[in-house]
Structure 1
Amino acid sequence: MQKSPNRSKLRNFWQPPFTRRPKSSRPEGIERPASKTQDQTPNTKSRVLIAWGILIAAGLGLSINLYRLQIIQGSKLTQKARNQQMVNLRPFTPRRLMVDRNKNVLAIDRPVYTVFAHPKLFEKSNEEMAERLAPILDKNPAELVKTFQSRKSGITLAAALPEASADRISTLRLNGLELIQKYSRFYPTEDLAADVVGYVNIDRRGQAGVEYSQEKLLERSMQTVRLSRAGNGALMPDHAPEGFLHFDDLQLQLTIDSRLQRAARIALKEQLEKFGAKRGAVIVMDALDGSLLALVSQPAYNPNEYSKADISLFKNWTVADLYEPGSTFKPLNVAIALENGVIKPDDVFDDPGTIKVADRIIKNAVINGYRRINIAQILQTSSNVGMVQIIQRLRPSVYYNWLERLGLGQKVDTDLPFEVSGRLKTQEEFIGSPIEPATSSFGQGFSLTALQLVQLHGALANGGKLVTPHVVQGLIDSKGQMHYSPARPAPRQIFSSAIAQKVVEMMETVVSEGSGKSAQIAGYRIGGKTGTAQKASPSGGYIKGARITSFVAILPVESPRYVVLALADEPKGENAYGSTVAAPIVKSVMEALIPIEQIPPTQPINQQLTDPAP
């Protein structure tokens, strides 16, 4: 069978490419081409060298980059990776409770809720939603309907709803409402002790009172912890330190007694309203250690609604404002004179009602004509003339040194904030003018805070020691055990105990026979001193017709311990004096203090009422 020429060509087409063909098959006149391998050998070497060069350069570049990443930037990149894998978390911890001396809560962190409404998600009508929410939110249903119509979503209905009210809303099971929990500082006693307690702002930072001055004690020390984070950003609790959410149960206990605080506030408000006074204050101190049992100021503010208050009320004026104490300072001047031996308890002085000092005439508040009076009677009648004569027996330099020794012109070391230093003229000014010692003898010409006056009278009540007034008792646990108590300066002896007691006994005659009769309490021996001082003007001199009335008491005289001071700023009326305005306040406060502190009467009350006056 004859072979097909096409099949022959196909067989030649599939012949292996390197099979040498017979010479007879090569056309004549055509030479065999040179070997391809031999022609390209130099090009191949160059290509190999180029490839190796590229590989070496790439390897060198990778090495350099690796060195840069591992050595130069290693620590920085490691930290960056850790920051991506870990998260710093400072768990929220509530501020410590603040309690009074009897563990009554004065400040506490409580959960509250912000309530949002999303009307577009309501399944009920706006009217029906408003009717059901209005009683809980204490709002008008019609106003709520208007609120729902104002926007489709994100409407704030309440910023700090109490937990009980939030629970009521939750039980309604209404769609379109959102409750977000947060913590808020709450003051159960409202304005009762606001001057002492203070308040915290929206950032939970103390702004006044103990909330400000003792923030380190109120803030629990919670360490920041680092938690692992998964690839999707979720925290991995398995890597949390054990017990990192636990915190102590310590509470900050104050020396304030809420019962006494309430009684003082009632008495103070009544007298301020009666005499139309601008403001007033009451301070009660245990002179044995300086603990303040009550500190009331009016007007006050509600720390739960501090944004509505006058900012001037945030500073307690008994520690932040200065005033001239007037006649309430006279017992201290008597103690100074007795200590220096320039007078004796039974000395008698001439009192014509006026006295000339340099080019000035000093008068008594009430001029009764010429008389001879002893030191106790000088205090009873609050004689300015008698006090000038007493202080004139002291060298001005000695007297000035004693005023400095008492701490005038300085701050009182207390735990209440915003306290200011008193004002006392320089020694050159004081000694260079005879009128300065004369006016200081009856409590004018210098200024101090109400708290400092209480501290000074405390030195008469505790045997001559200057103690530190304070409101912080310390940190206690839930069982009442003390864990921390602030360190305070040691009491400083300024008067001898005998002289301090003698002055207190002189002050007793002020209550039993003198201007402080309205502070008498049957069965109890009480020392006191009235004060009605001109009010100094910020621009110099005195404000015409303006005065500060006060009364300070020490009890019980036979064993002095407690100091009570009441102040009324700018009372109105012709009969507005320390004896008529402040003394009744002090009496009411002492009547509350006696049963609280269980102070026994000096003698049976019935006998006191029937025995004739000495």
Structure 2
Amino acid sequence: MRKSPSRSKFQNFRTANFTRQRKGTQRGLIEKPTPTSQEPIPNTRTRLLIAWGLLMAAGLGLAINLYQLQIVNGAKLTEKARKQQMVNLRPFMPRRPVIDRGNNLLAIDRPVYTVFAHPKLFDKPNEEIAQLLAPILNKDAADLVKIFESKKSGITLVPALPEELADRFMRLNLNGFEFVQKYARFYPQEDLAADIVGYVNLDRRGQAGVEYSQEKLLERSVQTVRLSRAGNGALMPDHAPEGFLHFDDLQLQLTIDSRLQRAARSALKQQMEKFGAKRGGVIVMDAADGSLLALVSQPSYDPNQYSKADISLFKNWTVADLYEPGSTFKPLNVAIALENGVIRSDDTFNDPGSIQVADRIIKNAQNKSYGRINIAQILQHSSNIGMVQIIQRLQPNIYYNWLERLGLGQTVDTDLPFEVGSRLKSQEEFISSPIEPATTSFGQGFSLTPLQLVQMHGALANGGKLVTPHVVKGLVDSKGQMHYLPNRPMPRQIFSPATTQRVVEMMETVVSEGTGKVAQIPGYRIAGKTGTAQKASASGGYQVGARITSFVGILPVEAPRYVVLALVDEPKGENAYGSTVAAPIVKAVMEALIPIEQIPPSSTVNPVPADTGN
């Protein structure tokens, strides 16, 4: 039978509607019921736009940050990184050694070790370790045991142990000890040349002597180097510039002769002990160029233990203290008078023992009178009266100008530190008061340093030139080749050679016939002059009973070259004079000087020649 079309459509409609209802029923079983007030749900496109916006904003921020880091702050950050990666290092460079003219070592940097003990780490009994260390450390074993028992760790056992002793210590292979290396200045001659060399403090800065005055020559030049540093802070030696630790082998050589220095010190100490003196000094100068061959000051100190010394000893008093030279200045006054033509070598003067100048009475030492005497005899007997009469022949203003030409009132140009200027009254005061030239004629009323007096007598020994006293010869390498010579002022001609030779020969009679006989050395012509001066008081006038004795010698008379000055301050005893205290020192020093300098004996002993005119 054929179906009806309308029925088929109805059936199809019902089937489709039923299907929709079934699907809706199934959907209702799975989904939640739709709320009454529905919220808007963003679609996929909106969400993509938001994500892209966030990514673009982040990218833009990153770009801006990169621009700030790379462009705006790039240079600063690069420099900061370099500073973090690199370290500026100034390597330790030892100071140059100091040697004498014979290449004997006077000062050197050497490695030392600070030794720390940690008893808690000992693997042997304290007593056993103490017994092993006692001979190395030069300490008592019982004392070491007490030290080990004082703390469990961190005991400073030795602050500066020399390298050779540290090597012996380390070879014992003892547990519980720590060695920290450092460098320390060492003075092998101890106090022999302390007054010249000086010392270096804990900060490695010179504080006295040439260690102070010549610090620029003693410090080796070294440049700061930049080394790479690893992330853990360790230095990277592969990046160190090649040869940056190389240093020269130059040494500071002095003009001092240690043999002569030792002889002078021994002679000085002997006389100081004999006369119970306060202090003393010896200076030996080669008048040809001003080289100081010896410069001794007593008491002295050990620069290896400078912290234990009296601080006043760090200034060499022969360079830094003033005194009135007394009769040792008389030969210079004779030279001034001869140079000005107011006296002749054979002139004579009457010495009654006293002379009145203005309202003052001037006397000789011990109130002695000598009658009619010549100029050489004035020096022989150290006549104050004769000297006053000689200087009275000079116009005061001319005399004053000559004193200034000699350097009075000025400071000696020397390479030693703490030099002070000599003192001379003002020209107005000197000229207006007749007593000033009179007292100056026999070495009082003004003051100078012992070094300056040696410089002036050097002019008598070298033909009339003022040279520069100095102790620095220069910088020399290990092969003896000189690399640096100091520039010094040209010598100034003060007196004529004829005048100085006559004065030196007059001074020879002081040794052969006068107050300096004790300085005689058989076979040698020696000139000299004694001095026994009152000590000026800080409050004015002179100290009662205090004197400074001195003797200056020149060797050899036939070819003058070497000047030796000895001073002894405040010797005790009735017989304490320049002739008894200081002259024996000069003789002992000259006896050491003769073989060192190979000075031949004098062939003849010449009399003082007559003056043939100036």
- TM-score w.r.t. the length of structure 1 is 0.90
Question: What residue in structure 2 maps to residue 359 of structure 1?
Answer: 359
Question: What residue in structure 2 maps to residue 44 of structure 1?
Answer: 46
Shift of 1:39: 7.8
Residue 322 of structure 1 aligns to a residue whose secondary structure is coil
After TM superposition, the structure 1 = structure 2 runs for residues 283-362 of structure 1, keeping only pairs within 5 Å, are 283-362=283-362
Question: What residue in structure 2 maps to residue 418 of structure 1?
Answer: 418
After TM superposition, the structure 1 = structure 2 runs for residues 91-102 of structure 1, keeping only pairs within 5 Å, are 91-102=91-102
Question: What residue in structure 2 maps to residue 212 of structure 1?
Answer: 212
After TM superposition, the structure 1 = structure 2 runs for residues 487-526 of structure 1, keeping only pairs within 5 Å, are 487-526=487-526
Shift of 1:350: 1.5
Shift of 1:68: 4.5
Shift of 1:22: 6.7
Shift of 1:55: 6.1
Shift of 1:385: 0.9
**Inter-partner Cα distance in structure 2 for 1:22 and 1:457:** 143
Query: 2:429 corresponds to which letter in structure 1?
Result: E
Question: What residue in structure 2 maps to residue 13 of structure 1?
Answer: none
Question: What residue in structure 1 maps to residue 610 of structure 2?
Answer: none
Shift of 1:78: 2.4
Question: What residue in structure 1 maps to residue 435 of structure 2?
Answer: 435
- 345 and 73 in structure 1: CA distance in 2 versus 1, 3 angstrom threshold: farther
**Where do 5+ consecutive residues of structure 2 fail to align?**
1-17, 29-33, 608-614
Query: 1:44 corresponds to which letter in structure 2?
Result: T
- 75 and 501 in structure 1: CA distance in 2 versus 1, 3 angstrom threshold: farther
Shift of 1:219: 1.1
**Inter-partner Cα distance in structure 1 for 2:356 and 2:588:** 40
- 49 and 399 in structure 1: CA distance in 2 versus 1, 3 angstrom threshold: farther
Shift of 1:115: 1.3
**Inter-partner Cα distance in structure 2 for 1:431 and 1:418:** 31
**Inter-partner Cα distance in structure 1 for 2:376 and 2:80:** 81
- TM-score w.r.t. the length of structure 2 is 0.90
- 23 and 78 in structure 1: CA distance in 2 versus 1, 3 angstrom threshold: same
Shift of 1:23: 4.8
**Inter-partner Cα distance in structure 1 for 2:49 and 2:160:** 78
Shift of 1:92: 1.6
Of the two, which has the highest radius of gyration? 2
- 62 and 596 in structure 1: CA distance in 2 versus 1, 3 angstrom threshold: same
**Inter-partner Cα distance in structure 2 for 1:470 and 1:113:** 36
Query: 1:508 corresponds to which letter in structure 2?
Result: E
List per-residue Cα deviations over 1:87-118 (Å, max 9, x = no partner). 11122221111110000111111121111111
- 347 and 169 in structure 1: CA distance in 2 versus 1, 3 angstrom threshold: same
Shift of 1:73: 4.0
Shift of 1:270: 0.4
Shift of 1:544: 0.7
**Inter-partner Cα distance in structure 1 for 2:459 and 2:356:** 32
**Inter-partner Cα distance in structure 2 for 1:58 and 1:501:** 102
List per-residue Cα deviations over 1:388-443 (Å, max 9, x = no partner). 11111111111111111111111111011111111111111111211111111111
After TM superposition, the structure 1 = structure 2 runs for residues 88-237 of structure 1, keeping only pairs within 5 Å, are 88-237=88-237
Identity %: 78
Shift of 1:38: 10
Matched, 1:480 2:477: no
Residue 206 of structure 1 aligns to a residue whose secondary structure is coil
Query: 1:114 corresponds to which letter in structure 2?
Result: T
Question: What residue in structure 1 maps to residue 276 of structure 2?
Answer: 276
List per-residue Cα deviations over 1:331-390 (Å, max 9, x = no partner). 111111111111111111111111111111111113333611111111111111111111
Query: 2:137 corresponds to which letter in structure 1?
Result: L
**Inter-partner Cα distance in structure 2 for 1:427 and 1:68:** 77
**Inter-partner Cα distance in structure 1 for 2:59 and 2:341:** 101
**Inter-partner Cα distance in structure 2 for 1:165 and 1:42:** 88
- 22 and 152 in structure 1: CA distance in 2 versus 1, 3 angstrom threshold: same
List per-residue Cα deviations over 1:443-487 (Å, max 9, x = no partner). 111111110000000011001111000000001111111010111
Shift of 1:77: 2.6
After TM superposition, the structure 1 = structure 2 runs for residues 568-607 of structure 1, keeping only pairs within 5 Å, are 568-603=568-603
After TM superposition, the structure 1 = structure 2 runs for residues 362-441 of structure 1, keeping only pairs within 5 Å, are 362-369=362-369, 371-441=371-441
List per-residue Cα deviations over 1:172-213 (Å, max 9, x = no partner). 111111222221111111111110011111121111111111
Query: 2:46 corresponds to which letter in structure 1?
Result: T
Shift of 1:76: 3.2
**Inter-partner Cα distance in structure 2 for 1:526 and 1:534:** 26
- 357 and 239 in structure 1: CA distance in 2 versus 1, 3 angstrom threshold: same
